[in-house]
Amino acid sequence: MGGIASAPINEAVFFLSKASPEDLEQLKNSFPEIKDELNPGIMAGEADLSPAQARTILKAKAQVIVVVLNKTIELSDRALSQASRKMRFGRRTRMGGQVITVVGTSGVLAAIGITQNGLAIASAILALLGSLAAILGEYFEQIVDKKQGGLNEIFLRIATARHKAVIITKTIETYIREDIIDSGLETTIREGNALSEEITSNVYQIFEAFDVTHGR
């Protein structure tokens, strides 16, 4: 049974070391049996463990993943809120630019009695404002690294990963509550570990793009 105790938690530990180092220190005190693996950069190794030792280690790792995923959910909510505000602003700005462009057409301006000279000047100014609004709106939708997709795409990835984090957390809690410490739990720990890396990448793109302090 010793093999299942080698389920990695390295990505989860890295996330927590960045997002909430004080929680990581508390976990080291709570689970001394995996204290070494609660240091960033340490991978699980194969060990000759008794079934009882393997169960203890796997259960400890499961509880670590629960703590980490709850933190990723918290930060995901913050990132989604921030991204949502920026996307709404971007959409409103682009819509405003479209309205300005329509108002700037000669037909609309002529209808309100502007002189020919005034018409040319007003049209030019409104066209410029409309273009600037469109550029600004697009900027807020593409402010993150374009190689990773626009803001809308990253928003969707974070929302999807957050949903997975909730499911994995509840699954692990069920395993622990029912005292089912087996290969199924080990697989779920691996999934949670990988998911924490995915969330870290996307969430911090939002925070860094908008210069937001993730806070603890």
Instruction: Indicate the pTM of the whole model.
Output: 0.71
User: Does any domain span residue 136?
Assistant: no
The candidate with the shortest Cα–Cα distance to 168, out of 59, 69, 78, is 69
pLDDT per position as a tens digit, 69-85: 999 999 999 888 887 77
Among the residues of 46-144, which ranges form H helices?
51-103, 106-111, 116-141
Distances (CA, A) of 28 to 17, 42, 115, 190: 12, 14, 77, 20
Provide the pLDDT for residue 87. 63
Give every CB contact of residue 101 below 8 A, 6+ residues apart in sequence: 126, 127, 130, 131
Assigned domain for 90 exists: no
Is residue 98 included in any domain, yes or no?
Answer: no
Cα end-to-end distance, the chain, whole Å: 37
Q: Does any domain span residue 14?
A: yes
Q: Is residue 71 part of a domain?
A: yes
- How does the average pLDDT of the chain come out, rounded? 77
Which pLDDT score, from 0 to 100, does residue 215 have?
45
- List of E strands, 143-207: none
Count up the domains in the chain and report the number.
Answer: 1
User: pLDDT tens across 104-128, in order?
Assistant: 555 544 545 555 555 555 555 655 5
Give the CA distances from residue 208 to residues 9, 21, 31, 213, in Å, rounded to whole numbers and listed in that order: 25, 19, 32, 8
Range of the domain at 11: 2-85+144-209
Q: What is the pLDDT of residues 11-65, one digit of tens each?
A: 999 999 988 999 999 999 999 999 889 998 776 655 677 888 889 999 999 999 9
